[in-house]
A and B are shown apart, each in its own frame.
Chain A
């Protein structure tokens, strides 16, 4: 059981969602984050005040999956998020100690497998 974290461009978030649905990865959460990953700074000017924007808007996917699903999930994230330019984001895979489905009390594999599978 792993926790897959994908940090992607906001404009690619819908593509990632589509790729995840197609790969039948159905349980995840997303949040809007700001990050810096070496991409070129955007220069903006507000009435004479010029600034370099060091942080970029990103969308962070958190996906808890059973081991056989890890590679599928990573592939789906890459497929949806990749544009080829600097700033496409990162994927981190972490070991996951325990998962509990609140409604039923299911743990681990049962908890990360979507209902109805």
Chain B
């Protein structure tokens, strides 16, 4: 049987929905290298590659753990706390439609895998410039199963939050609050960079930051627009809200920058794009475009405040994952409780439309997800820290993680480089102008 005949033969598959979800999956996967670019620009030049590589590592590790057990624990069965092992190692994941959708479960699996991947990559922002690469790989593997898969089950896979009525369209619980509050725990366990609070540790390339934010926003149309698993109304609503909400965050962020420093900053703008995209993530398919714009505008305030506050503390949560993701995700989750509208989402109203219970369901998620993410990550890293050093020595940190961890530099000139030929074990050395 040809591949075409097979897919046409499977009942319940919608080709239009499947086509869009294939594209959406690719868009979300692109967000992880985009995040790598965003993060790499925010660190010092000697840590450029290591920072980007943590995002690349998230793809490598989380895709494998997701296929092995993560997907199954998140999406097999509707246990209250955790799923089962029925889909472990992709068992039973094939061309048949995923229950409740019109797309093959293989596509559903891949789409959800990209969410796990980027969430692991997001957490790295808390520990860049000092965490050793090996322990980060171990952390990524364990965290993707012990924290991400659990939260994904609660919010998406039929776990207790979803069953209790919490609305989370595209991942306010597992992705945004999951990464943000885990980042805080990771920063506390790994500890501050050695020069934190003594020297100005500045972003080395603002263009990377802006380009990374732009590519993240582009990918986020697949992230939110794909979270309806179809081309239906919820996806269309979430897609357009993903344009409107971050735009309003940008406008308000400009105003806050003007009030505080009398200048609109580029790195502030890049941050605002991320904050706006995060805020609309849980709410995308549940609130009207008008409320989405208000959400974008208001979400700027708590995230801006947390960034200002965090830099005055001793907590080196280096790239402000808590402010951009944890805080804005929490705000978006709560916002649904006020402004969800059955006329737009066909599911539930919020407090503003007479259904106070929805706000209660949202508040429960806003308490439970941060608590679980923080505690589980804290314990995981403490246990890891007892068996392996998590961070580089002060000397290695000073030299830079690129040379120490990877034996490469991002901005190598090649002057003074001596070529080591593979067949002479370095006995014959030839100066080269440009090794790259």
A interface, CB within 8 angstroms of B: 9, 11-12, 14, 34, 36, 41-46, 48-55, 83, 85
Contact = CB atoms under 8 A, between A and B. Distances in A.
B416 A14 contact: no
Contact of B416 (A9, A11, A36): A36
Interface string B406-436: 0111001111111110100010010010011
A-B complex: 8 closest residue pairs judged by Cβ atoms? A55-B416, A11-B398, A54-B416, A51-B417, A51-B435, A50-B420, A52-B418, A44-B407
A7 to B, nearest CB: 15
Nearest to B402: A44
Of the listed residues B412, B419, B420, B429, the one surrounded by the most CB atoms of chain A closer than 10 A to its CB is: B420
Nearest to A10: B46
B324 to A, nearest CB: 28
Given A51-B420, A52-B426, 13 more contacts: A11-B399, A36-B416, A44-B409, A49-B435, A50-B419, A50-B420, A51-B414, A51-B417, A51-B418, A52-B417, A53-B416, A83-B395, A83-B398
Contacts of B399: 11
A46 B409 CA distance: 9
A64 to B, nearest CB: 26
**Chain B residues touching A, majority SS:** loop
B195 interface: yes
20 contacts: A9-B398, A11-B399, A12-B398, A14-B195, A14-B199, A34-B413, A34-B416, A43-B420, A44-B409, A44-B417, A44-B435, A45-B408, A46-B408, A49-B436, A51-B418, A51-B435, A52-B417, A54-B416, A54-B417, A54-B418
B81 interface: no
B352 to A, nearest CB: 52
Interface string B46-69: 100000000000000000000000
A46 B408 CA distance: 7
A113 to B, nearest CB: 28
A55 B431 CA distance: 12
B426 A51 contact: no
A44 B416 contact: no
B436 A41 contact: no
Of the listed residues A12, A36, A49, the one surrounded by the most CB atoms of chain B closer than 10 A to its CB is: A49
B415 A34 contact: yes
Contacts of A52: 417-418, 420, 426, 429
A46 B418 contact: no
A46 B400 CA distance: 17
A21 to B, nearest CB: 13
A43 B425 CA distance: 13
Contact of B403 (A42, A46, A48, A54): A42
Nearest to A56: B416
Nearest to B418: A52
Contact of A51 (B398, B403, B419): B419
Contacts of A14: 195, 199
A36 B384 CA distance: 39
Of the listed residues B399, B416, B422, the one surrounded by the most CB atoms of chain A closer than 10 A to its CB is: B416
B398 to A, nearest CB: 4
Contacts of B403: 42, 44
A42 B399 CA distance: 11
A55 to B, nearest CB: 3
B435 A46 contact: yes
